[in-house]
Amino acid sequence: MALALASRDDLEVHVAHDERTAAFMALGIGLSSGLPAALLCTSGTAAAHFHAAVVEADLSGVPMVVLTADRPPELQGIGAPQTIDQVELYGDVVRLFVNASVPVAALAHTWRDLATDAWLAASGIDAGPVHLNLPFREPLVGDIGALPPTDDRLDDPFDDAVYFMTRLSMEELAAMLQHPRGVIVAGRGVDDPEAVAELAEALGWPVLADPRSGCRSLPQAVCAFDSLLRHAPFAAAQRPDVVLHLGEAPASKVLGQWLQAAGALHVQVHAQGRTIDPLGIITERVYGEASTVCEAVLESLTASTDAGWLTSWTSAEAAAQAAIDAQSAAELTEPAVARALSTVPGRLVLSSSMPVRDVEWFGSASSTVVHSNRGANGIDGVIASAIGVAIGSNEPTTLLLGDVAFCHDQSSLTALAARQLPLTIVVVDNDGGGIFSFLPQRSSLSTERFEQLFGTPHGTDLLALARAHGLGARRAETAGDLLAAVSDREATVVLVTSNRDANVAAHDALHAAVAQAL
């Protein structure tokens, strides 16, 4: 199978030295390109190492075609080496599972149907991973044959589809939204930010924009919503009566609690049918592309709304951004790193834990394309995901992650230098798990117990680790250093040293500065 794939002039083949890296690279390619990568491994535990990325692909709706080689039936269940039960290995997280028959020439006419079924299941409206388990008999090396004819089902099956599903008519949905005190919450899954801007202008509503939404540069965008909503008087005065939620939820717990307390009519629009409602606040669901729904609602609006409501939000946003700018200028804190990188052109990949929150809370309004694995919110495979994003987008890519996530995925540094990708890895090193310093464990446990179980210092020299892999590595101590390092093509790993307790204080100071500005 590897030989067959590598022989194709129309496929780009990337080899990873371990399966988890390969799987998260495939995830990053699907995340940035919208096309499924074919992910191939040998039989046995190799296939098990794919599982974490397959789970993330499922929860995030990222297309992926998983190809696991397997032993033939006669070698199953007899203790043959490198053999495990691979049938339905990933359970129900895949859109399609097929346990294929051993390939023989007489069945060649069925292979194109199988491939087409896999492609359509991975790339369809409910995009996600598919799993083809492919048993082979010896000999395992042969001559490359001609491909079967293509399948007519591949002729642009989705490009012309305009759809959405709701129990309401568009007039009813528009009437529900036509209220002066409303907000649009925009997360990952917005396909056309301009359609959101047009609807926001017509409604007179702000857009609380997650950086992954692509909506942060809109004139109605409110990016500092987390700090704004931490200020109790503002949060109480700005409670909405209607919420239009486009795509996934932002990371902000403060925003979620504010929406829950508001008790507003809450309409969620999502292109996938597998949405969940952990806060129990969704009143109506609409399944479809955000732009399709926004355009349909816009056509059915009948009256203007109060422009003062939007102004109250955008004025607060301007004050908050000025306060964050002033507070971030003094030193290169973790939030200052996030703010600086949020303006770098190209793609920005964020680790879960603090990086995705810092960019969401303190990042600038910009058009930088942001990615993060927020389906399962894990920190595993983050370097590999960024490698995949750089491959899939063919654009300059910056990764922001913490030291624990860096150590967790250090195997992805293997042969990274040889890939010659436009990728810069920015590591904030506070020698442990920084997010736990914000949680009750920090104040309720002894320092010794907290450090053992939650702080988890590792003492790894991350620059030496990067250089051991032949990667250019340097340290940044100011915002200027950081931006210079990101633009330096000789530097792949950039290290910013931080302190966990000081980081908590830096966050508190930023929120206090915004409150003071309000």
Task: Flag the least confident range among 133-142, 200-209, 277-286, 405-414.
Answer: 277-286
Average pLDDT in the 450-477 region? 95
Q: How confident is the model at residue 163 (pLDDT cuts 50, 70, 90)?
A: low
Helix (H) or strand (E) holding 231: none
- Per residue in 481-496, pLDDT (tens digit) is 999 999 999 999 999 9
What's residue 117's pLDDT? 94
- Per residue in 94-116, pLDDT (tens digit) is 999 999 999 998 998 899 999 99
Task: Flag the least confident range among 4-8, 391-395, 397-401.
Answer: 4-8
Whether the bond into 36 is cis, omega within 30 of 0: no
Strands 265-270 and 129-135: unpaired
| Percentage of the chain exceeding pLDDT 70 | 97
Instruction: Decide if pLDDT at 5 tops 80.
Output: yes
Instruction: Decide if pLDDT at 312 tops 70.
Output: yes
* C-alpha span between 327 and 23 (Å, rounded): 40
**120 phi and psi, to 5 degrees?**
-65, -40
Instruction: Decide if pLDDT at 150 tops 90.
Output: no
What's residue 46's pLDDT? 96
Instruction: Decide if pLDDT at 160 tops 50.
Output: no
Average pLDDT, the chain: 93
Every domain of the chain with CATH number 3.40.50.1220 lies at 164-316
Q: Which CATH architecture has domain 164-316?
A: 3-Layer(aba) Sandwich (3.40)
Instruction: Decide if pLDDT at 382 tops 90.
Output: yes
Instruction: For residue 127, give the nearest of 29, 60, 188 by alpha carbon.
Output: 60
Q: How confident is the model at residue 121 (pLDDT cuts 50, 70, 90)?
A: very high
Q: CATH code for 2-138? A: 3.40.50.970
Q: What is the DSSP letter of 223?
A: -
Reported CATH class of domain 329-517: alpha beta
- DSSP letters spanning 380-444: TTHHHHHHHHHHHH-S-EEEEEEHHHHHHTGGGGTTHHHH--SEEEEEEE-SS-GGGGGSHHHHH
Instruction: Decide if pLDDT at 199 tops 80.
Output: yes
Instruction: For residue 458, give the nearest of 430, 436, 498, 438 by alpha carbon.
Output: 430
Average pLDDT in the 414-430 region? 97
Instruction: Decide if pLDDT at 161 tops 60.
Output: no
* C-alpha span between 365 and 384 (Å, rounded): 27
Q: What is the DSSP letter of 279?
A: T
* C-alpha span between 129 and 118 (Å, rounded): 9
Every domain of the chain with CATH number 3.40.50.970 lies at 2-138, 329-517
- Per residue in 273-286, pLDDT (tens digit) is 566 777 889 999 88
Average pLDDT in the 37-46 region? 97
3-class DSSP state for residue 206? Answer: coil
What's residue 164's pLDDT? 64
Task: Answer with the residue of higher pLDDT: 169 or 212.
Answer: 212
> Length of the chain, please?
518
| Burial call 399-435: b when 16+ CB within 10 Å, e when fewer | bbbbbbbbbbbbebbeebeeeebebbbbbbbbbbbbb
State both tokens at 395: 């654009």
Average pLDDT in the 286-314 region? 89
- Per residue in 48-96, pLDDT (tens digit) is 999 999 999 999 999 999 999 999 999 999 999 999 999 999 999 999 9
- Per residue in 221-252, pLDDT (tens digit) is 999 999 999 999 999 999 999 999 999 999 99
Instruction: Decide if pLDDT at 508 tops 80.
Output: yes
Instruction: Decide if pLDDT at 157 tops 70.
Output: no
What's residue 216's pLDDT? 97
What's residue 162's pLDDT? 47
- DSSP letters spanning 66-106: EEEEE--GGGTTTT-TT----TTTTGGGSSEEEEPPPP-GG
Return the residue matching tokens 């030496």: 464
Q: How confident is the model at residue 19 (pLDDT cuts 50, 70, 90)?
A: very high
* C-alpha span between 385 and 95 (Å, rounded): 21
